[in-house]
Amino acid sequence: MSRVLITGGAGFLGSHLADLMLARGHEVVAMDNFITGDPANIAHLFGRPGFSFIRHDVTNFIYVDGPLDYILHFASPASPIDYLQLPIQTLKVGSLGTHKALGLAKAKGATFLLASTSETYGDPLVHPQREDYWGNVNPVGPRGVYDEAKRFAEAMTMAYHRFHGIPTRIVRIFNTYGPRMRLNDGRALPAFMGQALRGEDVTVFGDGSQTRSFCYVSDLCEGIYRLMLSGEVNPVNIGNPVETTILEFAKRVVALVGSGVKIVHRDLPVDDPKVRQPDITRARNLLGWEPRVNLDDGLKWTLEDFRRRIGGKS
Ligand code: NAD
Ligand code: UDP
């Protein structure tokens, strides 16, 4: 049995990873400052044997009592609205926070896993995106605060691996969705589902011809778990390669919710990537992983969670 620290443990992905780690018999220490996370995401874990929580901003020195075998570094604002509203915090958590978490991994002899992102590819000129593509990022655009922080975090992770010899992993996560996403986090799925459930117009940015590839959260967590246990140091894409235009995606969500709301168009955000689709050959070959949940099932399960929360809260 190992002891795992999850930074960003009260967030969407961090809380699902905590569930998975506990279910597989590991001890979990979750750490979060709640800047974009929610205590409700981990409320069910308090009091459960093997789970503990530390409220802390990881851009400051991190102290954890006792041994650690793995550090999963997930702390960071993640939705475009969040990181546009929190530009300095985003840059700090990707740089200073990653440095602190790596320092802790070195001190504890722990394996370090960085939650990186498909945004390291920027507005990609290679499609689908393979891990050996270096990307097309605008460093001074509004999304640069997130993209460059994550690119710095990858470089820092490799430096700790090369210079200090610590075991490291880098997962490049592509758009992931599922229960517990914040209703107002502005990402496409919570935006569309929330709007359709409230009977509001669904806002598609631009003409909706830009593409994304959506992965259900349980598939993502399984891929991350396998990567954590593997010996792979180089970045690995984890995502679902089934690509859709955002307009098609909005139509699917509207049809599923069944409220007959209108789709309206709004300005496309600056530097919004035109295409995105993971090449998951490496994950398939190295981890024997591929996604299992299709979009219909994933959307249905997410809708159940959204209905419950919207019914309860707004
Ligand atoms: P989220 O906002 O739900 O979770 C992030 C968590 O980190 C929140 O609980 C937040 O409070 C915490 N946090 C932020 N700054 C912190 C700090 N300084 N100290 C302590 N805690 C801090 O977002 P998410 O979707 O769960 O994303 C988690 C990670 O996965 C992020 O690193 C993100 O970049 C990465 N990622 C997510 C996706 C996705 O589709 N969900 C895609 C690519 C990458
Ligand atoms: N999007 C949209 N309407 C919304 C929210 C998002 O059309 O209300 C679009 C956004 O412009 C992007 C895609 O949906 O092209 C995915 O956006 P998201 O914020 O989920 O994540 P991204 O992949 O851009 O990081």
pLDDT digits (tens, 9 = 90+) for 274-307: 999 999 999 999 999 999 999 999 999 999 999 9
* Pairing of the two strands 236-238 and 215-216: unpaired
Average pLDDT over residues 19-32: 98
pLDDT at 311 over 90: no
How many CB atoms lie under 10 A from the CB of residue 21?
Answer: 25
Q: How far is the CA of 37 from the centre of ligand 1 (A)?
A: 8
Ligand located closest to 118 CA: 1
pLDDT digits (tens, 9 = 90+) for 239-285: 999 999 999 999 999 999 998 899 999 999 999 999 999 999 999 99
Could you tell which of 175, 246, 254 is best to mutate to test the pocket of ligand 2, judged by most ligand atoms within 8 Å of the CB?
246
Question: Does the Cβ of 113 fall within 6 Å of ligand 1?
Answer: no
Q: Which long-range contacts (CB under 8 A, 24 or more apart) does 84-93 make?
A: 84/142, 84/143, 84/145, 86/35, 86/36, 87/142, 87/145, 88/145, 89/35, 89/59, 90/145, 90/146, 90/149, 91/145, 91/148, 91/149, 92/59, 93/58, 93/59, 93/149
**pLDDT for position 245:** 98
pLDDT digits (tens, 9 = 90+) for 151-176: 999 999 999 999 999 999 999 999 99
Catalytic (active site) residue 146? yes
**Phi, psi angle pair for 238, to nearest 5°:** -130, 120
| Domains in the chain: ranges and CATH | 3-176+216-238 (3.40.50.720), 182-212+242-276+293-311 (3.90.25.10)
Sorting pLDDT into bands at 50, 70 and 90, what band is 312?
Answer: low
pLDDT at 314 over 70: no
Task: List the single range of 34-38, 51-55, 144-148, 258-262 with lowest mean pLDDT.
Answer: 258-262
Question: Does the Cβ of 75 fall within 6 Å of ligand 1?
Answer: yes
Task: Provide the whole-model pTM.
Answer: 0.98
pLDDT digits (tens, 9 = 90+) for 85-132: 999 999 999 999 999 999 999 999 999 999 999 999 999 999 999 999
Amino acid at 245: T
Q: How far is the CA of 187 from the centre of ligand 2 (A)?
A: 5
pLDDT at 146 over 50: yes
The average confidence (pLDDT) of the chain is 97
Ligand located closest to 186 CA: 2
Give the active site residue among 146, 177, 216, 225.
Answer: 146
